[in-house]
Amino acid sequence: MRKFENYELIISFSVIKFNDKVQLAYSKIKLEQILKANNMKRILITGASGFIGSFMVEQAISKGYEVYAGIRETSNKQYLKDKRIKFIELNFADTDDLKKTFSNLKKQNILFNYIIHNAGITKANKRQDYFTINYQYTKNIIEALIFTNLIPDKFVYMSSLAAHGPVQKGEKIMKLSDKPSPVTSYGKSKLQAENLITSKSNFPYIIIRPIGVYGPREKDFYIYFKLIKNHFQPLIGFNKTRVSFIYVKDLVKIIFTALESDIKNKTYFVSDGIVSNSLTFGNIIKKNLNRKTIKIRIPICLLKITAFFLEPIYGLFGKIPTANFEKINELKSSWICDIKPLENDFNFKADYNLKQGIYETTKWYKKENWL
């Protein structure tokens, strides 16, 4: 069957005879919709039930993709209610099981044009868990795709700015040309996964390294919203560390722009391009919540003393305390990245600044009775 692209074909004739007269009945039938159904791009999104993943699914549906959501058996589907979503349970821990899953999909002629690998963890009780889930599970799915010859047109890996590490001493901004120096096990696990992907030949990829992502459904920054609602505004250290942010909708927008482009085998930092700090972030939140706050400065030295005592105790149980040296190194650092490659390749410009993003986020939290 011949394929047509970017054309709208119209059947506009039907001959009917009435009383020896020929009457043309025009019925404009848009075959574009039929052709679209036949040539619909198919996408698999792992980690689809999470904060960012659920927005990816919504964006893919709105763009007309046939969407497969990669989830676990225990995944919460509260943001995946659209009946057009197709679900696949993926056991990332078992390469053989993944191979079997993809082989069965192949037998059904279900081939993915694109895959966004968004599954992973940002918090763990054990440091090894970061490497197991963020690195080994990524390795498993890639091996399964190669084994079954189901390599997509493009594989988007959702990494993190943590894979690069913070702005180095004496520098004002981090660049892709800099040597990565992650300060957390999370960042190191993400970098290890990146290195695995870039080492593969004939494997088309895009690696996305976003800065801190906020927005509706997000639960980490949400804690800060709650504290400010209760009139507390904690600040780490006495120096204003410089940071940037990215609103979830802006992140998802650029992911799909990169996905649908001809560009492959490149890595990108993603932020809104605005240099800010945690004080400004908190002040915008309290304005939206109409709250006065007590600013509490927590000295870095106090956090280090706390970590010094807590880490050995938690270590006896194979766990990591919230106040740990890796987290402290992350909190005391500046996180400003160069997004010129993103602007040059995709003409990227964030639709949301902090005021707009926090306003929309606060509105959602209130609507859902989170605040």
Instruction: In whole angstroms, give the CA distance from residue 346 to residue 351.
Output: 14
Max CA separation in the chain (angstroms):
99
List, in sequence order, every beta strand (DSSP E) within the chain. Answer: 10-11, 15-18, 21-24, 29-30, 42-46, 66-71, 86-89, 114-117, 154-158, 205-210, 212-214, 232-236, 245-247, 266-270, 294-298
CA pair distance 366, 285, nearest whole angstrom: 13
With beta carbons less than 8 A apart as the criterion, state whether 279 and 240 touch: yes
Q: Is 27 in contact with 2 (CB distance < 8 Å)?
A: no
Predicted structure pTM score = 0.87
Q: Judging by DSSP bridges, how do beta strands 114-117 and 10-11 pair with one another?
A: unpaired
Question: Would you state the pLDDT for residue 23?
Answer: 41
CA distance to 84, 116, 169, per residue, from 188 (Å): 37, 20, 19
Secondary structure of residue 364 in the 3-state scheme: helix
pLDDT over 90 percentage in the chain: 74
Domain boundaries, the chain: 1-39
- The string of pLDDT tens digits covering residues 250-306 is 999 999 999 999 999 999 999 999 999 999 999 999 999 999 999 999 888 988 898
Mean pLDDT (whole number) for 329-346: 93
Distance CA 6, CA 40 (A): 13
348: confidence class by pLDDT, cuts 50, 70, 90: very high
DSSP state of 14: -
pLDDT greater than 70 at residue 138 = yes
What are 209-237's pLDDT values in tens digits? 999 999 999 999 999 999 999 999 999 88
DSSP 120-181: --S--SSHHHHIIIIIIHHHHHHHHHHHTT---SEEEEE--GGGT-SPPTT-SSB-TTSPP-
